[in-house]
A = this chain, B = another copy of it.
Amino acid sequence: MVKKPAPDATRRSEKSRRAIYAAALALVAEAGYPRTTVEGIAARAGVGKQTIYRWWGSKADVLLEAFLDLGEQMARTAGQEASAVPDTGDLAADLKAVLRATIDELLDPRFEVPARSLAAEGLVNEQVGREFVTKLLEPQLQLYVDRLRSAQATGAVRADVDPRIALELFVSPLAQRWLQRTGPISHDYTDTLVDYALHGIAPR
């Protein structure tokens, strides 16, 4: 007979997991990635170091999962599905809606400070950078690829366009303004990016 965990134990472990995510995000925001340690996360979460190592292999693993979880929670709070770009048949409207929600997320300090610390580490630490891109960024970008492919099927995007490059016309400008503080970000700004990307800047 397989022993099922008692309901109390499941609740307790879910509570520890949440405490560990919160501690990891708070620490990386305050101290930066290099000075964040598994010991520090454990102490702040009020759990033993072994509890963390039972579930995760490294501090990078904890942080990436904490981010995934934060993104899902924020999407739920905003009443959105985190796992798709909407497809109402109006490509411009769908892209604008998702980018407006992204603006709101990027301007939320709960997300901003730890995301910036992790991104900075990713620039100089190639392994962290690649994990960050593979596990966090690329899956999100693939949602745009899917939406652009469905737009190609209905003729709203040209068939000869590479969707993986096309999405960068509106995603990367926002990423650069946010990361490098090269300019203000707003709903108007991302709306403009979508219009330019769809119709170009040359006369039609």
Seen from chain A, the residues whose Cβ lies within 8 Å of a Cβ on chain B are: 32, 91, 116-117, 119-124, 126, 129-130, 132-133, 137-138, 141, 148, 155-158, 161-162, 164-166, 168-169, 171-173, 175-177, 179-183, 189, 192-193, 196-204
Partner of A202 from the list B120, B126, B138, B198 (CB cut-off 8 Å) is B198
Contact of A172 among B32, B164, B175, B203 (CB under 8 A): B175
Main secondary structure of the interface of A (DSSP, over half): helix
CB distance from A157 to the nearest CB of B (A): 5
B-side contacts of A137, CB under 8 Å: 180, 182
**Smallest Cβ distance from A39 to chain B, in angstroms?**
22
Among A162, A177, A180, A201, which residue has the most Cβ atoms of chain B within 10 A?
A201
CA distance A157 to B137 in the complex (A): 32
Chain B residues near A162 (CB-CB < 8 A): 192
Report if A181-B120 is in contact (Cβ < 8 Å); known contacts: A176-B168, A189-B165, A199-B200.
Answer: no
Contact between B165 and A169 (Cβ–Cβ < 8 Å)?
no
The answer for the CA separation of A148 and B200 in the assembled complex, in Å, is 13
Beta-carbon nearest neighbor of A189 in chain B:
B165
Q: Which residues of B contact A121 (CB under 8 A)?
A: 120
What are 21 contact pairs spanning A and B, CB under 8 A? A116-B123, A119-B180, A120-B123, A122-B180, A129-B180, A133-B182, A157-B201, A157-B202, A157-B203, A168-B193, A169-B169, A169-B173, A169-B193, A169-B197, A171-B176, A175-B176, A175-B180, A179-B179, A198-B200, A198-B201, A199-B202
